[in-house]
Structure 1
Amino acid sequence: MEGVQPEGVGDKYSLIVPTYNERLNIALLVYLVFKHLRDVDFEIIIVDDGSPDGTQDVVKQLQQVYGDDRILLRARPRKLGLGTAYAHGLKHASGNFVVIMDADLSHHPKYLPSFIKKQQETGASIVTGTRYVKGGGVHGWTLMRKLTSRGANVLAQTFLWPGVSDLTGSFRLYRKSVLEDLISSCVSKGYVFQMEMIVRASRKGYHIEEVPITFVDRVFGSSKLGGSEIIEYLKGLAYLLVTT
């Protein structure tokens, strides 16, 4: 793989992808991962929360194409929260590094080589994708959505001082042992989960690096962010302020 250092030999990457009604996106995501990680040892763990749209049927077809050792379907009966989806996927991960990413193509797999390269160059425990540094950005969002996201980050930066520019992003590479440690100490379940993870990582002194990414609003399906998530975010911010 272009630009990746030889010391990465022997590393394996487990990509945990939570899904709910992502039938239209999952095949393209998998194709793009295989395209951009040609010379990398990896597996994709799909944690589907009982999607009624046939997501699991598509994943089973993908297993026939790529092999069920590369595409692991680890389904759950219903929606149980993002944090628990990662914990569930982590139990089945055989890699020494874990990537968490969304299924809706908002996280383009073309960035994965730069995550891996950054980790190998710096020895970081966490590499997180950021929309808020030079080279990063957002595509397809309304001004209101941009302001909400930016405001959420500024609020958290002001109160929590985590030393990371994009707290609510959910495209990250972790050392498996670090992710296990962080998940065991996190209490948030939904939208706040990503913020709690990175704040706790900062408090524990883990080495965190950032890679600029362009976040693209979902191509198919509907966004799962609404007013209730914003309230949940503010509650989570208050909780972290008190407990970290």
Structure 2
Amino acid sequence: MSSDDADKYSILLPTYNEKDNLPIIVWLIVKFMDESGYDYEIIIIDDASPDGTLQVAEKLQKIYGKEKILLRPREKKLGLGTAYLHGLKHSTGNFILIMDADLSHHPKFIPQMIALRESCDFDVVSGTRYKGSGGVYGWDFKRKLISRGANFLTQLLLRPGASDLTGSFRLYKKDVLEKLVASCVSKGYVFQMEMIVRARQLGYSVGEVPITFVDRVYGESKLGGSEIFHFVKALLYLFATT
């Protein structure tokens, strides 16, 4: 058990069409957090999913209780950055963990991230696919190439001091996340990258835990050609402004 008994972890789960994945990811989070003895809450931020994700979330709230599962839905699809802000506003933890609800991030890594944070007092702990035992499963060669290429290009231009910039499995001190979100201008895929770049810029310490990333089990991936174009454009913007 943590030496800091007062610490509480708010886990933000932005969702859009995740009705199949949500029960599994919530069950896994509860399992690993309960086993580790940490105090936590799960905040589900659904952006008006047409597939009934919110109804599934309501059932989960009945199962696990309103203290553990907080539902903070929004009227329409408003993007990741604003979802984190929305979740932040409603969080009662002093640490914020953000992850995808599509099972690409396994909750078994959360206790490792918390342990690293506790031992080194990092401001940010990021899950990395590009170090140690980290890796990606379920991607074809093209997707791996794009991801590696994007990461390499970013390392070259921005020298951020972190190995995985586009991942979205991260643990933040709450006040640090508030400052970072306020300083970010990017949207979508690039938002995660800018968060790490700004963290370095503002002098925050970043630790990394190797994770295995598994491509979505159910539903559609959200990375397409236009995303890649916006990524490169935003990367050049960050290069010019940081």
TM-score for the superposition, normalised by structure 1: 0.97
Alpha-carbon distance, 1:144 to partner: 0.6
Give 1:176's aligned residue: 174
Superposed, 1:61-210 pairs within 5 Å as: 61-210=59-208
Question: Which residue in 2 is equivalent to 1:13?
Answer: 9
The partner residue of 1:43 within 41, 53, 64 is 41
> 2 CA distance for matches of 1:194 and 1:153?
12
SS of the residue corresponding to residue 142 of structure 2 reads helix
Within a 5 Å distance, the mapping from 1:48-63 to structure 2 comes to 48-63=46-61
Please say if residues 136 and 214 of structure 1, whose CA atoms lie closer than 8 Å, have aligned partners that are also in contact: yes
Partners of 2:117 and 2:88 in 1: CA distance: 19
For 1:31, the equivalent position in structure 2 comes to 27
Q: Is the 8 A contact 1:83 1:183 kept in 2?
A: yes
Q: Summarize deviations over 1:53-80 as a string: whole Å, max 9, x none.
A: 0000000001101111211111111111
The list of structure 1 runs, each at least 4 consecutive aligned residues, that deviate by more than 2 angstroms after superposition, is none
Shift of 1:137: 0.2
Q: Cα distance, 1:175 vs. partner?
A: 0.1
Using the TM superposition, give the Cα deviation of residue 182 of structure 1 relative to its aligned residue in structure 2, in angstroms: 0.3
Measured after TM superposition, the shift of residue 235 of structure 1 is: 1.1
2:237 alignment partner AA: Y
Number of aligned residues: 240
Which letter maps to 2:16? Y
C-alpha separation in 2, matches of 1:36 and 1:7: 18
Q: State the distance in 2 between where 1:230 and 1:90 align.
A: 28
Task: Answer yes or no: is the 8 Å Cα contact 1:191–1:229 preserved in 2.
Answer: yes
- Preserved CA contact (<8 Å) 1:84 1:189: no
Q: Which residue of structure 2 lines up, in the alignment, with residue 228 of structure 1?
A: 226
Aligned AA (1:15)? I
The CA distance in 2 between the partners of 1:67 and 1:239, in whole Å, is: 44
- Deviation of the 1:10 alpha carbon: 1.1
Q: Report if aligned partners of 1:132, 1:166 keep a CA contact under 8 Å in 2.
A: yes
Displacement of 1:113 after TM fit? 0.4
* Contact residue 170 and residue 194 of structure 1 kept, 8 A: yes
RMSD: 0.7
Q: Deviations over 1:206-233 (max 9, x none)?
A: 0100000000000111101111111111
8 Å contact 1:20–1:48 — kept in the other structure?
Answer: yes
Tell me the secondary structure at the aligned position of residue 20 of structure 2: helix
Letter in 2 for 1:136: G
Contact map agreement 1:48 1:76 (CA 8 A) in 2 = yes
Structure 2, unpaired ranges of 5+: none
In 2, Cα distance between equivalents of 1:9 and 1:243:
40
Q: Which runs of 5+ in 1 are unaligned?
A: none
